[in-house]
Amino acid sequence: MLSKKPIMNRTVLYKIFEFSSAHRLSSDKLTSEENWDIYDKCNNINGHGHDYYLEVGITGDIDPETGMTIELEEMDIKVNALLQQLNYKHLNKEVPYFKTTISTGENIIQFLWNELDKSFTNQQLYYLKLWETNNNYFELKR
């Protein structure tokens, strides 16, 4: 006889968030010429902007009372609290972390992961995907 119990009670809920930021790619370990060679137009002295999309995957057991992995409102509050620190900001100039860390997509997603992992305790954070443009994205998973 088949058991009614599912094989796995663990699921992942994904939700997409947006934020817009300006930044400039520049390394103080490189000369102006080297910076321009590596980062090209992303090294533009006055910066440039992106409309970022962030896909967040949260995992957990399905709550038998609600039938949900996590309440969407809780997810919104935690992610938006973090994205508010970046939204409509010049990352290099206004976000302390990126005053000393180059604001590449790789470093932005690392920052987002570390911060969200503090908010979503018990290893609830499972997946992040950061779209920088329509053609490129960065990914992290547990």
CB 45 within 8 A of CB 24: yes
Nearer to Ni ion, 13 or 42 (CB): 42
Residue ranges in 22-51 that form contacts with Ni ion under rule CB under 5 A: 42
Amino acid residing at 37 = D
Question: CB of residue 47 vs Ni ion: minimum separation in angstroms?
Answer: 8
Give me the residues paired with residue 63 across strands: none
4/140 Cα distance (integer angstroms): 34
- Find the binding residues for Ni ion in span 108-137 (CB under 5 A): none
**Which residue number, 75 or 86, has a Cβ lying nearer to Ni ion?**
86
CB of 117 to Ni ion, least distance (A): 24
Phi, psi of 53, rounded to the nearest 5 degrees: -115, 135
Binding interface with Ni ion (CB under 5 A): 42
